[in-house]
């Protein structure tokens, strides 16, 4: 009888520890960006407003990966043709994922398209709002919202969001 009570108490303690181990604060602490890459300045470089480059379609491609990460590709993202270091940072608050595309400097009088890629997570299956910002200061508070969209994340999702 005493052993049965000990096992019940141990089981309850284990259940409580698992509950607290999976709290949303821990999910926020585990959330990260990995595998960032960029294409570099793609061939459609041009200076000033001579036309052409603005006709390229910008898209956001998302895929649910097997390990709970979301791959995010920003295709034909327009930046200065000498932006310094490009980065993607991300944070999560509840079901809102904020991604900031940053660059250090504006070093030239031209723009060109880049393909940016990263994986963010880990995520649990569910509905999320993704907000993408762009800014040169590496400070999300100063960043301008570029776009936002909703996704229903699960492993294996695959979709394209067109900016235009």
Which pLDDT score, from 0 to 100, does residue 57 have?
A: 81
Both 77 and 103 in one domain: the answer is: yes
Between CA 10 and CA 19, with CA 16 as vertex, the angle to 5 degrees is: 145
- Is 163 or 30 the better-scoring residue by pLDDT? 30
Both 46 and 111 in one domain: the answer is: yes
Beta-bridge mates of residue 128: 151
Where residue 52 falls among pLDDT bands split at 50, 70, 90?
low
Both 1 and 71 in one domain: the answer is: no
Both 1 and 60 in one domain: the answer is: no
Q: Give the Cα separation of 54 and 57 in Å (integer).
A: 8
Q: Give the Cα separation of 113 and 57 in Å (integer).
A: 10
Whether residue 12 has pLDDT greater than 50:
no
| Contacts of 86 by beta carbon, 8 Å cutoff, 6+ apart | 38, 79, 101, 102, 103, 114, 116
Both 20 and 78 in one domain: the answer is: no
Both 76 and 143 in one domain: the answer is: yes
64: left (phi over 0), alpha (psi -120 to 50) or beta: beta
Both 47 and 18 in one domain: the answer is: no
Nearest to 116 by CA among 148, 145, 78, 156: 78
Both 110 and 139 in one domain: the answer is: yes
Both 13 and 66 in one domain: the answer is: no
Both 80 and 126 in one domain: the answer is: yes
Residue 47, preceding peptide bond in cis (omega within 30° of 0):
no
Q: Exposed, middle or buried: residue 34 (CB in 10 Å: 0-12, 13-18, 19+)?
A: exposed
* In 81-125, beta strands by DSSP E: 86-93, 96-103, 110-121
Both 14 and 39 in one domain: the answer is: no
Q: What is the pLDDT of residues 110-154, one digit of tens each?
A: 888 999 999 999 999 999 999 998 875 555 555 688 889 999 999
Beta-bridge mates of residue 77: 114
For the chain, how many structural domains are there in total? 2
The domain in which residue 38 lies consists of 31-162
Both 16 and 91 in one domain: the answer is: no
| Tokens found for residue 12 | 């309850």
Which pLDDT score, from 0 to 100, does residue 136 have?
A: 56
The predicted model scores a pTM of 0.73
């Amino acid at each position: 009888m005493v052993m049965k009570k000990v096992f019940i108490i141990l089981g309850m303690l284990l259940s409580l520890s698992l509950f607290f181990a999976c709290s949303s604060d821990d999910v926020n602490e585990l959330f990260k960006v990995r595998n960032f890459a960029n294409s570099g300045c793609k061939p459609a470089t041009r200076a000033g407003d001579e036309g052409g480059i603005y006709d390229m379609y910008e898209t956001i491609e998302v895929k649910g990966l097997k390990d709970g990460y979301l791959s995010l590709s920003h295709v034909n993202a327009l930046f200065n043709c000498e932006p310094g270091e490009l980065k993607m940072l991300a944070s999560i608050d509840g079901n809102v994922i904020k991604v900031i595309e940053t660059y250090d400097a504006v070093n030239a009088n031209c723009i060109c398209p880049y393909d940016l890629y990263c994986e963010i997570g880990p995520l649990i299956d569910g509905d999320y709002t993704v907000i993408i910002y762009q800014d040169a200061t590496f400070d999300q508070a100063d960043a301008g919202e570029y776009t936002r969209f909703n996704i229903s994340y699960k492993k294996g999702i695959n979709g394209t969001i067109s900016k235009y």
